[in-house]
Amino acid sequence: MSAAPAPWLSLLVPVYNVAEWLPACLDSIDSQDLSGVQLLLMDDSATDASPALAQDWLQRHPELDARLLRHERNQGLSAARNHLLEAARGDYVWFLDSDDVLTPGAIASLRRTLDRQLVDLVLCDFAYLRARPKLKHRLRGEQHVRTFAGPSNSPLTDTPGLLTGLLELGYLHSWSKVARRSLWSDDLCFPVGHTFEDMATTPDLAMRALSYIHVPEVWIGYRQRAGSILAGASLNKTDDMMRALHDLPQRLHPYSELDAGVRFAASHFAARSFIGAVRFANRQSDAVRMGHYRQAFLAALCMPLDDLMAQYLWRGWWWRALRLRHWLGRSAATPMPG
């Protein structure tokens, strides 16, 4: 008896205390064309009804190539994703957070894209999901957020262009990237025990891709909720955000050495991260952290600070230049430990 063909896609869903939103996530998966798709869910030792909801859903869908894996103790999102990768059999892997949703036809659109051109990496767009969306959210364009500042609908092999397009907009989350499973390996995995794991892995994943395409379609509904990792700011999380910038110039070498676009985009990304972190530390009156974040930012720059400021002014980004100068000054004025 011949073995079943390998799935073309593994959809990887970490699950932890999302009982309120998991049914919508699973319903969005159920609405897709799942032919040749492996679905893996990881119960990261949830303490609510999430595992029971997932198990019940799987029992009602015995026709699917689907499994619920379990951690005996909570290990965090990075460990859950790493173990899902180990169990994946698909040619491609796509992470989906269990409080988010796939938009109708997302997997079919991905399949059509890959049928036309088997690239290493597919980038998609997303929309914000809010319980009470307001006019300001619509005016911000939250119904369709572009994740890539570069050409769309054309397969490309330009790695500097890929890095520039990702870093300039700063949307490095894993769930808007569908990658060949072979790009992931033991030396590229999510950092266990830390948040902002996508910032630490996406640039390296992009540098491994020999080809890519951006599809300007909303495939993910990204839920905004109080209990999510990104919604609840803390000093530990801002520490992780700045830690993810560690060795950024070295990691991007030689692309940052040879390409002016990569140098600017990476430095701009570091500046945005620094401003977000130092503003939060300032609200907590943590002067020492503000100084540390300043040092981490300056170490993460891929171009001289004066050149970054000059680029901001040349682009007409006066407000960005003023904000960066302001927070550099505020953090420089804070006392450092002796």
pLDDT of residue 2: 55
pLDDT of residue 224: 86
Q: Tell me the mean pLDDT in the region 274-302.
A: 95
- The residue assigned the tokens 């319903």 is 27
**In the predicted model, is pLDDT for residue 244 greater than 70?**
yes
Q: Tell me the mean pLDDT in the region 296-314.
A: 97
Pairing of strands 37-43, 9-15: parallel
Q: What is the DSSP string of 80-145?
A: HHHHHHHH--SSEEEE--TTSEEPTTHHHHHHHHHHH---SEEEEEEEEE-SS--HHHHHTTTTSB
**In the predicted model, is pLDDT for residue 303 greater than 80?**
yes
* Paired tokens of 114: 């890959």
**Tens digits of residue pLDDT in 284-295:** 999 999 999 999
CATH label, 9-223, candidates 3.90.550.10, 3.40.50.300, 3.40.50.150, 3.30.930.10: 3.90.550.10
Distance CA 88, CA 183 (A): 13
- Report yes or no on whether pTM surpasses 0.95: no
Q: What percent of the chain has pLDDT over 70?
A: 95
- The residue assigned the tokens 């990569």 is 262
**Tens digits of residue pLDDT in 215-234:** 999 999 999 866 544 445 68
